[in-house]
A and B are shown apart, each in its own frame.
Chain A
Amino acid sequence: MSPDERFLMRRGLTRRTWLLRAGLLAGSGLLAACAPAAPAAPTQAPAAAPTQPPAAKPTAAPTTAPAVAATTAPAAKPTTALAAAPTTAPATGGKKGGKITWALEQDPVHLIPYGAVPTANMWGKEFMYDSVIAWDRNLAIQPALATEWSAPDDHTYVFKLRQGVKFHDGSEVTAEDVKWGIEAQADPPAPGIKTQYPAKITTIDAVDKYTVRINMSGPDPSVIGYFAWQRYTPVTPRGIYDKINVLTQGIGTGPYKLVEFVPNDRVVYTRNPDFWNKDLPYLDEITLKVLPDEQARVAALRSAAIDGATFTADVAKTMANDRNLTVLKGLYAAHKEIQFVLKDPKNPWSNVKVRQAINHAINRQDIIDKVFGGDASYSSIIPPGYGDWPLPEADLKGNYLKYDVDKAKGLLQEAGFGSGFEMELQSINPPRYITQAAEVVSEHLKAVGIKANVVPLEIGTFAKNNADGSYPGAQLTARGMRGDPNGYVTEFHPKTPIFATWFEGGFLNEELTKTLDDALLTPDQAKRKALYTRAQQILLTEFPHIPLVQDMKYQVVRSRLKNMYVSYTDFNTGLRESWVEA
């Protein structure tokens, strides 16, 4: 898939490597808990919160979270911070009061509720909104504005809303508001654009004041993950576009109310005293300050002008010895991969053996050591940390992604390219580490006779090439968060728009297409898992794209800031539950 927009939108001044936490997901977007010490069961969930896609067993069966969690997470990584502060384990008993300033490395640009593309938009708006359901820090699905949800049949979802919840403007949240919002997501006004909206949703009904029914043209278990992805599915008062200027203002139900947004400068939030979860929030005020320059963030953090920010691995490590600071790290959804365009059969890489050869010629451990300071994992098509959906790392290391130069040379020989060939390897720059990874890969390929010329490109140029498939070779890029495992494989399905640009006429695997279709018709998570395992096995044999590694995200906070963690989603969601100690 194409480069994740967060890399594309990034302004050039910072490189980040990130990190973090191992969450796990399981279910259709329902990620079960895994991290050590993290309670898997919803703690605050009223009664019957099904953590499993309801469709699994119509009506009855809201299996509780632990059942899903049982699928566990091979990827569960130590989530502890360098400075030994656990990043998981939600703490309780925080203190009320206090103000913090958090630095953003990119401008949110705008705060529009629906159809926003930049991740930074979510950084700017996430504290004032809720969706009907939400991911917790382990990517397990928890109730938010809905207290329970169910699937009466395989193409209907019903959400029961929490009663008496007030928007920041004082009006009550009703099913009509939720319905209106979902309809707005289907066709968001500019500068919004429809991207992740589940195609099978047909109509929304406000059954009564507190019941919303989603009608669909067929089964799609990824819908639950979509609604947990508050980035796309915040609940707003109906008609919000007519009430305020949504570019710089917002009305939600979240723990913090927006005070002001000054583009390219700051976002200021104040406590919402009427938040539906009475335990939250702790802070009186959160200011998000845009500070694109990494060294400026370091200086501001050391001198307590800000309370936390995201940093690159190297820079974060230089702060590990400061007693006033705590370094957090964890996995996050942004694995790196090589993408080919396979439409022209004349290109060497249109031959599957050549792609297999390239895969086995790449020494991923070398990339991890040289580019990511030893702090990264092998990545399958679905990245590590995304529940137990990815193939196990041992399988990747020992088989699918094994570093084996002799095998690579043999495959090239069989393909008729024993004497090698020349190709272009484009990379996004900045961030620098993408290009550094491309240079390391280029060295590896040289060893089997392939001359891969690294071409670093500024984001706009890279994005254009990626979108129209106009690159003579391959691109090295990064992926991002998806609401459901299907999001990581969908580009290999002929019905997805980008398929025509990248693959049509040059790559098609009938078994894969059928497997992906089946997986979307299968509500049972265990069966779905088997299907996505099979899909990944096919993809890691055919290699239309070659996944490389998943690095860590680092955030450094003033030690007085408690209960913050690196979010797998790449947001700063932990601040919703953070507090400060005097």
Chain B
Amino acid sequence: MLLLVPTLLGMSVFIFLMLRLLPGDVVDLMTAGQEQATDESKRKLREAFGLADPLPLQYIKWLLGLLRGDPGKSLRSGQPISEALGQALPITLELTLLAVLLATTLAIPLGVLSASRRDSKADFGGRVAGLIGLSIPSFWLATLTLLFTSVVFSWVPPVSWVSPTTDPLGNLEQMLLPAAALAVQLMAIEMRMTRTTMLEVLGQDYVRTARAKGATEQLVTYRHALRNALIPVISVIGFQIGTLMGGSAIIEVIFGLNGIGATLIQAIFNRDYPMVQAAALFLATVFVVINTSVDLLYGYLDPRIKHA
């Protein structure tokens, strides 16, 4: 738990430096193709953006700003970054949670089915589907889904974002497809994980004992086996939430959703340093925090795991 602080600090240095290793800065981009732009005007812009300071000073200024809760302003749009990320966060969060929800509600029953009817046709089908799901890149699936629904149903999700609080149905209509595209891979992972751990658990002594005392197969499967099999599955889901939040970037771009990932990608192309730093650090923080929470949850779910 205490490792959180040095981890994040190291992360911030890394993000800060990585970005500045890329050739070209925002001023180069802004003045590209402008034959009339003078060195003087470029210098003034760099000073205005704080890019003229030595790197360590820039870093310290940024860090102090962060500690005050102010990640600065976008160099390209001038928009306060907290505001930009504030608009983007709910979209990414909803997308991620919806994807996890979709994946989990389908994957766990399927995994259980697959395990309890091992080597049946259903099991075989489930395993093949799982492999396919694992192998399909989500951006490919997203593009294909869009083209498919547009050609076959003459329908695509509405392009303008509506908040779930103002129009829950409209929001769902918009988010379901991207969430599904994002969910497929996670679903495959969860299903295979559930199947594997279920198989393991079903071979345990206490399951045999439960059966021996006359518990129904259903009771054995859900009460005795599944509960114990779920622990590793939950940890996988936890880790995946962090991955999904960053990994949803391409899905966001394809579906025209202005989430954190899409914002980050654009900021990188624009060399919008403070925006990239804030978005990347935010995602890194989410990842670290979720992983830590999963560790804690793990101990809670399985008291045998002690925390130092």
Q: A217 at interface (Cβ–Cβ under 8 A)?
A: no
Find B33's partner among A3, A193, A287, A296 (CB 8 Å cutoff).
A3
Q: Which residues of A contact B149 (CB under 8 A)?
A: 299, 303
Please provide the chain B residues from 243 to 280 with a CB less than 8 Å away from any CB of chain A in the complex: 253-256, 258, 262-263, 265-266, 269-271
Residues in A neighbouring B87, C-beta threshold 8 A: 262-263
B35 contact set on A, CB distance < 8 A: 1-2, 490-491, 496-498
Chain B residues positioned under 8 Å from A12 (CB to CB): 269
| Consensus secondary structure, chain B interface | loop
Q: Which residues of B contact A1 (CB under 8 A)?
A: 33, 35
Output the least CB separation between A560 and chain B (Å): 14
* Chain A contacts for B158, CB-based, 8 A: 305
* A4 vs B30: C-alpha distance when bound (angstroms): 10
Which residues of A, 261-306, contact B by the 8 Å Cβ criterion?
A: 262-266, 287, 289-293, 295-296, 298-300, 302-306
Closest A residue to B78 by CB, please name it.
A247
CB-defined contacts of B49 to chain A, threshold 8 Å: 190
| B75 contacts the other chain (CB 8 A) | yes
**How many B residues touch the partner, as a band?**
35 or more
Determine the interface band of chain A, counting residues with CB < 8 A from chain B: 35 or more
Interchain CB contact under 8 A, A463 and B147: no
Choose from A10, A193, A247, A497 the contact partner of B30 (Cβ within 8 Å): A193
Known: A295-B254, A299-B156, A461-B23. A195 touches B37 (CB 8 A): yes
Q: Is A97 an interface residue (CB 8 A)?
A: no
Do A109 and B37 touch across chains, with their CB atoms under 8 A apart? no
Assess the B150–A464 pair: CB atoms within 8 A: no
Q: A2-B32, A460-B28, A480-B33 are in contact. Are A263 and B84 (CB under 8 A)?
A: yes
Q: Say how far A476's CB is from chain B's closest CB, in angstroms.
A: 14
Given contacts A191-B77, A464-B28, is CB(A2)–CB(B258) below 8 Å?
no
- A291 adjacent to B143 (CB under 8 Å): no
Residue pair B38, A497 in contact (C-beta under 8 Å) = yes
Chain A, 292-322, contact with B by CB distance < 8 Å: what is the 0/1 string? 1101101110111110000000000000000
Cβ-neighbour of A302 out of B38, B88, B151 (below 8 A)? B151
Q: Flag whether A466 is at the interface (Cβ < 8 A).
A: yes
Interface of A is mostly: loop
Chain B residues with CB below 8 A from A2, complex form: 32-35
- Return the CB mask of B38-77 against A: 1 if under 8 Å, else 0: 1101000100110000000000000000000000000111
Smallest CB–CB gap between B284 and chain A, Å? 21
Determine whether the beta carbon of A110 is less than 8 Å from that of B77.
Answer: yes
Docked complex Cα distance between A296 and B266 (Å): 17
- B residues 134-150 near A (Cβ < 8 Å) are 143, 146-147, 149-150
- Asked whether, in the complex, the Cβ of A191 is within 8 Å of the Cβ of B29, the reply is no
Distance to closest chain A CB from B74 (angstroms)? 9
Contact A195 B36 (CB under 8 A): yes
Q: For A302, what are the chain B residues with a Cβ–Cβ distance below 8 Å?
A: 150-151, 154
Q: Contact between A117 and B34 (Cβ–Cβ < 8 Å)?
A: yes
Q: Contact check, B36 vs A463: say whether CB atoms are below 8 A apart.
A: no
> Which of B24, B33, B156, B255 makes the CB contact (< 8 A) with A5?
B33
Q: Does A101 contact B (CB under 8 A)?
A: yes
Q: Is the CB of B159 within 8 A of A101?
A: yes
The reply to whether A110 and B159 contact each other, CB–CB distance below 8 Å, is no
Q: For the complex, is A11 an interface residue (Cβ under 8 Å from B)? A: yes
Residues of A within 8 A of B33 (CB): 1-5, 8, 479-480
Chain B hits for A107, CB < 8 A = 266
Q: How far is the CA of A496 from the CA of B266 in the complex (A)?
A: 32
* Interface set of B (CB-CB < 8 Å, partner A): 22-25, 28-39, 41, 45, 48-49, 75-79, 84, 87-88, 143, 146-147, 149-151, 153-161, 253-256, 258, 262-263, 265-266, 269-271
By a beta-carbon cutoff of 8 Å, the part of chain A in contact with chain B is 1-5, 8-13, 101, 103, 107, 109-110, 112, 117, 190-191, 193-196, 247-248, 262-266, 287, 289-293, 295-296, 298-300, 302-306, 458-467, 479-480, 490-491, 496-498
10 A-B pairs whose Cβ atoms sit less than 8 Å apart in the complex: A101-B160, A191-B76, A195-B31, A195-B36, A264-B88, A296-B143, A459-B24, A460-B25, A463-B28, A464-B28
